[in-house]
């Protein structure tokens, strides 16, 4: 027992000793601890001393000061280290920085190869580094002095030279002045083509007739679709026009957005129920548009363009007021909404509808096939079947509203149509306004129909509304887009200048508006726009199957022949003996009527003989010089005698 007590005592002694030592240490600390006020003073003095030491170190070594602050806060450093993604994003996007540094190559180049200072032939080109994008590719109609010319298309030599850069052709709609040149262009280049269903449907008919050498790449898009083509991204946006499926195009480029209006108007009650997508256009305006390219066709007309739906009331009045007449309506073949209203009104009054004109048949057939038109049963008949019905049971829809010489209406007026002969019991409705330049042709056909006793509705009835925007609609487009820079397109010079004035009225500075000519290049970066030289541009003339083989010299000769006629001098000579063996004989075409001018022809023969003999006697044996001497001598004589300058063509044969 004593032993156990001794061991327990030994175990408790160290514990008691430790407790006693701890109490003694606590009392010592309490005695050494200063009062609260003294404690605060001591802490403040320590901080001041530490700050002074830190300032001295910063003066000697300024860089480590940042490290001194970051070292005691490892938590912040740890947060930055495991989040490298933001730094990765900045490092992995060097392209914008490179574009700002490489000035010429990284700028957007915009040019028009057609559609400026003219009506039709619309073709816009956007180029960025190694990518080219084309918007529309239309044709134009020949001027009065382009004798024998069928069509005019843009000069695409610049595109042919850069064919490997072309990423695609974007089509705004299916009118001739926007797609008509494609079959000719595809002979030398073959980029993919993008357009809406009706636009490509009309284009397919043209390609079936022309048969280009390449397999054409047609890609169907719808309003709201976006296509990516090289450096460009293009969104098709619905607009209203005189043809269905029309779009404007917003093209996103590396330097900004280019808005191309195409042809448009704002129709709040369209036939197909699809109004222009002003909301989407406004969204682009809020996001920022670099360049706005807007059509100028009707910029000189104040107000708003009436809705296509208003034509329905006019047609109803015409049919109701002329129940005993055969009604013949001429309109644009591509205006499927107009033709739809004509068919609906004819069906309402119990009439059959016959369609004539190749382009009209092609477009209407395509529209019906694709579902853009709905024709009531047993209303449409073939033009060859019109003889089975009384005149007051018929409506004939035809081409020729512009007085084209080969159109169906023209052939009717001049008794050259195989199935239709106009008579005093007919009523002809021209449901179109004359395109600038076609006024004489339209007037000619109207006069001929009046001579035949035909009633003609043209200006006196509201039988046509334009498909182009007037001033107030153009102003609205400008207000929605709010571009940095503006380029008026699609119009003659007067239209472009009027559009410039309208843009200035809307508040755009004059130095940000660029009225250009075809071939002139605009160069843009994100904040500036300037003119930057020109590219080859002009007109290529189409005559039959020939494309570009008729130029200024040929046209000059044609005008010469048309104005003054032709004199042909035919002779046979022996250059060895320097003698005239036969002739010269004189042939006149378009100069004078030979039978009534025998004396003049004999004098011409004498002058030609004397000139030829004199040249040979002088030792001149070069054919070019012999012919030139005859032309010079005859020209002087004929001008002195008649004050005319016919074309003189010597034909000299050597035996």
C-alpha 652/C-alpha 335 separation (Å) is 57
The full length of the chain comes to 655
525: its two tokens: 């970066």
C-alpha 551/C-alpha 178 separation (Å) is 23
Q: Report the 10 Å Cβ neighbour count for 190.
A: 17
Task: Inform me whether the pLDDT recorded for 568 exceeds 70.
Answer: yes
Tell me the per-residue pLDDT of 70-119, one tens digit each, with 9 for 90 and over. 444 444 334 344 444 333 333 333 333 333 333 445 899 999 999 999 98
User: Could you tell me if 205 and 364 are in contact, meaning their C-beta atoms sit under 8 angstroms apart?
Assistant: no
Residue 304 burial (10 A CB sphere; 0-12, 13-18, 19+): middle
Query: What strands, in cross-sheet order, belong to the sheet with 247-253?
Result: 226-229, 232-238, 247-253, 256-260, 291-295, 485-489
pLDDT in the model for residue 207: 93
Find the helix or strand (DSSP H, E) in which 489 lies.
strand 485-489
Domains of the chain by start residue, with CATH: 108-303+467-543 (3.60.15.10), 310-457 (3.40.50.10710), 565-654 (3.10.20.580)
Query: What strands, in cross-sheet order, belong to the sheet with 647-654?
Result: 579-589, 566-574, 647-654
C-alpha 366/C-alpha 377 separation (Å) is 17
Task: Inform me whether the pLDDT recorded for 7 exceeds 70.
Answer: no
Tell me the per-residue pLDDT of 160-191, one tens digit each, with 9 for 90 and over. 999 999 999 999 999 999 999 999 999 999 99
End-to-end CA distance of the chain: 168
As a whole number, mean pLDDT of residues 494-516 equals 96
- Helices (H), ranges, 460-551: 471-481, 493-505
Residue 280 burial (10 A CB sphere; 0-12, 13-18, 19+): middle
Determine what percent of the chain is predicted with pLDDT higher than 90: 58
pLDDT in the model for residue 26: 53
Q: Which residues of 431-466 are buried (b: 16+ CB within 10 A; e: fewer)?
A: bbbbbebbeebbeebbebbeebebebbbeeeebbbb
pLDDT in the model for residue 37: 46
pLDDT in the model for residue 72: 42
Task: Inform me whether the pLDDT recorded for 66 exceeds 90.
Answer: no
Task: Inform me whether the pLDDT recorded for 598 exceeds 90.
Answer: no
Name the band, by pLDDT with cuts 50, 70 and 90, for residue 46: low
Q: Specify the pTM.
A: 0.76
Contacts of 5 (CB under 8 A, 6+ apart): none
C-alpha 609/C-alpha 270 separation (Å) is 74
Task: Inform me whether the pLDDT recorded for 2 exceeds 90.
Answer: no
For 271, which DSSP code? T
- Regarding beta strands 326-330 and 291-295, do their DSSP bridges make them parallel or antiparallel, or are they unpaired? unpaired
- Regarding beta strands 166-170 and 131-135, do their DSSP bridges make them parallel or antiparallel, or are they unpaired? parallel
pLDDT in the model for residue 58: 47
pLDDT in the model for residue 79: 39
User: Could you tell me if 381 and 352 are in contact, meaning their C-beta atoms sit under 8 angstroms apart?
Assistant: yes
Residue 236 phi, psi (nearest 5): -90, 125
Any idea which of 258-272, 430-444, 564-578 has the lowest mean pLDDT? 430-444
Any idea which of 91-100, 145-154, 559-568, 603-612 has the lowest mean pLDDT? 91-100
Determine what percent of the chain is predicted with pLDDT higher than 70: 83
* Plot region of 523 (φ>0 → left; ψ -120 to 50 → alpha; else → beta): beta
C-alpha 331/C-alpha 338 separation (Å) is 8
Residue predicted with more confidence, 175 or 39: 175
pLDDT in the model for residue 448: 93
User: Could you tell me if 555 and 539 are in contact, meaning their C-beta atoms sit under 8 angstroms apart?
Assistant: no
Task: Give the CA angle between residues 81, 83, 85 to the nearest 5°.
Answer: 130
Tell me the per-residue pLDDT of 109-148, one tens digit each, with 9 for 90 and over. 999 999 999 988 999 999 999 999 999 999 998 887 888 8
C-alpha 475/C-alpha 629 separation (Å) is 64
Name the band, by pLDDT with cuts 50, 70 and 90, for residue 19: low
Task: Inform me whether the pLDDT recorded for 381 exceeds 60.
Answer: yes
C-alpha 215/C-alpha 305 separation (Å) is 40
Tell me the per-residue pLDDT of 257-288, one tens digit each, with 9 for 90 and over. 999 999 999 999 999 889 999 999 999 999 99
C-alpha 259/C-alpha 284 separation (Å) is 9
Contacts of 366 (CB under 8 A, 6+ apart): 198, 201, 202, 204, 205
Contacts of 359 (CB under 8 A, 6+ apart): 333, 399
198: its two tokens: 């009706």
Nearest CA among 109, 381, 122, 390 for reference residue 255: 109
pLDDT in the model for residue 18: 56
Q: Determine the longest span between alpha carbons in the chain, in angstroms.
A: 178
**SS3 for 154?**
strand
Name the band, by pLDDT with cuts 50, 70 and 90, for residue 580: confident
pLDDT in the model for residue 30: 47
Residue 353 phi, psi (nearest 5): -120, 125
Q: Report the 10 Å Cβ neighbour count for 10.
A: 9
For 35, which DSSP code? P
User: Could you tell me if 466 and 304 are in contact, meaning their C-beta atoms sit under 8 angstroms apart?
Assistant: no
E strand intervals along 239-365: 247-253, 256-260, 291-295, 326-330, 352-356
Mean per-residue pLDDT of the chain: 84
Q: Report the 10 Å Cβ neighbour count for 394.
A: 23
- Tokens 């809307």 correspond to what residue? 506
User: Could you tell me if 339 and 407 are in contact, meaning their C-beta atoms sit under 8 angstroms apart?
Assistant: no
- Tokens 């205006």 correspond to what residue? 335
Residue predicted with more confidence, 555 or 296: 296
Contacts of 539 (CB under 8 A, 6+ apart): 121, 140, 152, 153, 154, 155
Tell me the per-residue pLDDT of 198-256, one tens digit each, with 9 for 90 and over. 999 999 999 998 888 888 999 999 999 999 999 999 999 999 999 999 999 999 999 99
Nearest CA among 358, 245, 240, 363 for reference residue 304: 240
pLDDT in the model for residue 453: 92
C-alpha 586/C-alpha 223 separation (Å) is 66
């Amino acid at each position: 027992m004593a032993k156990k007590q001794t061991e327990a005592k030994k175990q408790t002694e160290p514990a008691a000793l430790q407790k006693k030592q701890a109490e003694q240490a606590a009392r010592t600390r309490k005695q050494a601890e200063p009062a609260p006020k003294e404690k605060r003073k001591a802490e403040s003095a320590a901080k001041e001393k530490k700050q002074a030491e830190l300032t001295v170190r910063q003066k000697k070594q300024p860089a480590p000061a940042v490290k001194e602050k970051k070292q005691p806060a490892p938590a912040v450093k740890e947060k930055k280290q495991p989040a490298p993604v933001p730094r990765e994003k900045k490092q992995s996007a060097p392209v914008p920085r490179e574009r700002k540094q490489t000035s010429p190559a990284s700028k957007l180049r915009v040019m028009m190869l057609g559609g400026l200072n003219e009506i039709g032939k619309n073709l816009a080109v956007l180029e960025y580094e190694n990518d080219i994008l084309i918007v529309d590719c239309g044709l134009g109609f020949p001027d009065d002095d382009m004798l024998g010319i069928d069509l005019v298309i843009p000069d695409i030599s610049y595109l042919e030279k850069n064919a490997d850069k072309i990423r695609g052709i974007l089509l705004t709609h299916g009118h001739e002045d926007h797609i008509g040149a494609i079959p000719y262009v595809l002979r030398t280049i073959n980029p993919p083509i993008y357009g809406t269903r009706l636009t490509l449907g009309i284009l397919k008919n043209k390609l079936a007739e022309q048969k280009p050498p390449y397999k054409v790449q047609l890609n169907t898009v719808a309003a709201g679709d976006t296509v990516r083509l090289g450096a460009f991204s293009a969104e098709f946006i619905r607009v209203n026009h005189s043809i269905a499926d029309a779009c404007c195009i917003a093209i996103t480029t590396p330097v900004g957005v280019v808005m191309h209006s195409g042809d448009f108007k704002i129709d709040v009650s369209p036939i197909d129920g699809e109004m222009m997508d002003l909301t989407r256009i406004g969204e682009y305006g809020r996001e920022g548009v670099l360049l706005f390219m807007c059509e100028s066709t009707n910029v000189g007309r104040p107000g708003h363009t009436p809705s296509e739906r208003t034509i329905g009331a006019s047609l109803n009045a015409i049919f109701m007021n002329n129940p005993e007449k055969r009604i013949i309506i001429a309109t644009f073949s591509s205006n499927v909404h107009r033709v739809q209203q004509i068919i609906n009104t004819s069906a309402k009054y119990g009439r059959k509808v016959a369609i004539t004109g190749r382009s009209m048949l092609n477009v209407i057939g395509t529209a019906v096939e694709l579902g853009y038109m709905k024709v009531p049963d047993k209303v449409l008949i073939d033009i060859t079947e019109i003889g089975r019905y009384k005149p007051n049971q018929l409506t004939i829809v035809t081409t020729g509203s512009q007085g084209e010489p080969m159109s169906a209406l023209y052939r009717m007026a001049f008794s050259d149509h195989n199935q239709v002969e106009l008579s005093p019991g007919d009523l002809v409705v021209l449901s179109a306004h004359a395109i600038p330049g076609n006024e004489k042709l339209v007037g000619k056909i109207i006069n001929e129909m009046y001579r035949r006793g035909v009633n003609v509705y043209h200006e006196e009835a509201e039988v046509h509304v334009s498909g182009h925007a007037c001033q107030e609609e153009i102003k609205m487009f400008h207000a929605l887009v709010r571009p940095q820079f503006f380029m008026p397109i699609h119009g003659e010079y007067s239209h472009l200048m009027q559009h410039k004035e309208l843009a200035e009225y809307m508040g755009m500075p004059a130095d940000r508006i660029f009225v250009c000519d075809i071939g002139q290049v605009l160069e843009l970066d994100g904040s500036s726009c300037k003119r930057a030289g020109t590219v080859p541009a002009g007109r290529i003339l189409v005559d039959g199957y020939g494309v570009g083989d008729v130029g200024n010299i040929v046209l000059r000769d044609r005008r010469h022949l048309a104005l003054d006629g032709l004199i042909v001098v035919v002779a046979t000579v022996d250059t060895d003996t320097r003698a005239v063996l036969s002739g010269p004989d004189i042939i006149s075409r378009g100069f004078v009527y030979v039978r009534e001018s025998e004396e003049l022809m004999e004098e011409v023969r004498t002058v030609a003989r004397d000139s030829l003999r004199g040249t040979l006697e002088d030792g001149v044996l070069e054919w070019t010089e012999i012919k030139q001497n005859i032309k010079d001598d005859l020209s002087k004589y004929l001008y002195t005698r008649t004050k005319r300058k016919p074309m003189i063509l010597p034909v000299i044969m050597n035996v």
